[in-house]
Chain A
Amino acid sequence: MIFQDFVFYSLASVVIISALGVITLRNPVYSVLLLVLAFVTSSGLWLLLEAEFLAIALVVVYVGAVMVLFLFVVMMLDINLDQMREGFWKWFPFGAILAFIMTVEMSMVLMSKQFSSEIIQTPEYKSVDYSNTKELGRLIYTEYVYVFELAAVILLVAMVAAIAITLRHRTDKKSSNASRQIAVSRNERLKVISMPAEKKE
């Protein structure tokens, strides 16, 4: 499958270059946009692995929703880049140690026996009527149903937490309440008094 290899390597190089751009560019908005490119290209890689539903879900959920959130966060933070770069060398040893530990841990997992090419065989190419979405649905709603319901609880918690943290009602707003305007009765607005007419002089 020479053509598929070609597609894989071109997508993979786009992912790596855009990921490098994410961490090296100075403008955080550019970084977020490059992260979008990295996600879109990774969805192409997932499609090559015949995980079609996950590839589309990556675009819909991450590119469509999570990146919007990232942009809002970047714009909300009011980042001063000069201030951020001040302590770079002071914190460099700390960050280098953390990165080193993470790299060692990841390589310990990825170079273990479970990921070796003897255990993971090259998968067969699926025929036209194969549906990855159907396979996922068959597993999620039967075998992993407990985890699936847990996901609902986590989403619920996230909803409540987001509202509890960020919801602020404004008190200085000047807007009309239509239902109260309609429900008003004549007696609240207009007072009819009877008084004798003035005599003309």
Chain B
Amino acid sequence: MLDTMLGNYFPILLFILVGLLVGTLCLVAGWLLAPNKPDAEKLSTYECGFGAFEDARMKFDVRYYLIAILFILFDLEIAFLFPWAVALKEVGLFGFVAMLVFLGLLVVGFIYEWAKGALEWD
């Protein structure tokens, strides 16, 4: 089994299992061993010593959303670069130019957002 492509990923599966095990063990040990004497004051919410001003679920500014969506778009662009880099010798000049056109289109978008000031946090 270890001589197949999938077999190469077996150590990663082991890592995931060991990671899960260690994480669960720590939580369970803390839950079992730590003293647990809750009272009303310990369980109440507080903000740096005084009562909470408002609910933690307040509305976020829409600018966080803009940053996230711009990040996704360039993340996707990067995802396209990986198979291109691996297969560059086989796709040759044609594939190289195809990627340059792809990147050129996205650079247009990048210049647009820079010029509009979407990258500035004001």
Residues of A whose CB lies within 8 Å of any CB of B are 1, 3-4, 7, 47-48, 50, 52-53, 57, 60-61, 64-66, 68-69, 72-73, 75-78, 125-128, 130-134, 136-138, 140-142, 145, 148-149, 151-153, 155-156, 158-160, 162-163, 166-170, 173, 175
Report chain A residues within 8 Å CB of B91: 137-138, 141-142
CB pair A65–B66 under 8 Å, yes or no, is no
CB pair B6–A125 under 8 Å, yes or no, is yes
Q: How far is the CB of A24 from chain B (nearest CB, A)?
A: 20
> Besides the contacts A47-B6, A68-B68, A140-B83, what 7 more A-B pairs have beta carbons closer than 8 Å?
A47-B9, A65-B72, A77-B59, A145-B95, A149-B98, A158-B69, A167-B66
CB pair B6–A4 under 8 Å, yes or no, is yes
Partner of A134, one of B86, B95, B101: B86
CB pair A7–B87 under 8 Å, yes or no, is no
CB-contacts of B44-88 with A (<8 A): 57-60, 62-66, 68-73, 75-77, 79-80, 82-88
Partner of A133, one of B1, B82, B101: B82
CB pair A140–B112 under 8 Å, yes or no, is no
Count residues on chain B whose CB falls below 8 Å from chain A CBs.
Answer: 55
Partner of B62, one of A52, A126, A142, A168: A168
Consensus secondary structure, chain B interface? helix
Given contacts A137-B90, A138-B87, contact A126 B122 (CB under 8 A): no
CB pair B109–A148 under 8 Å, yes or no, is no
Report chain B residues within 8 Å CB of A134: 83, 86-87, 90
CB pair B62–A166 under 8 Å, yes or no, is yes
Given contacts A127-B4, A137-B90, contact A75 B66 (CB under 8 A): no
CB pair B80–A158 under 8 Å, yes or no, is no
Given contacts A142-B94, A149-B101, contact A162 B82 (CB under 8 A): no
CB pair A170–B109 under 8 Å, yes or no, is no
> Would you give 24 A-B contacts (Cβ < 8 Å), ordered by A?
A1-B1, A47-B6, A50-B5, A52-B5, A52-B9, A61-B76, A61-B79, A68-B68, A75-B57, A77-B59, A78-B59, A126-B6, A134-B83, A137-B88, A141-B95, A141-B98, A152-B106, A156-B108, A156-B109, A159-B112, A162-B73, A166-B63, A169-B122, A170-B122
Q: Is the C-beta of B99 less than 8 angstroms from some C-beta in chain A?
A: yes
CB pair A50–B84 under 8 Å, yes or no, is no
Q: How far is the CB of A107 from chain B (nearest CB, A)?
A: 30
Partner of A125, one of B5, B60, B95: B5
Task: Give the distance in Å from the alpha carbon of A5 to the alpha carbon of B59 in the complex.
Answer: 45
CB pair B70–A152 under 8 Å, yes or no, is no
Q: Is the C-beta of B118 less than 8 angstroms from some C-beta in chain A?
A: yes
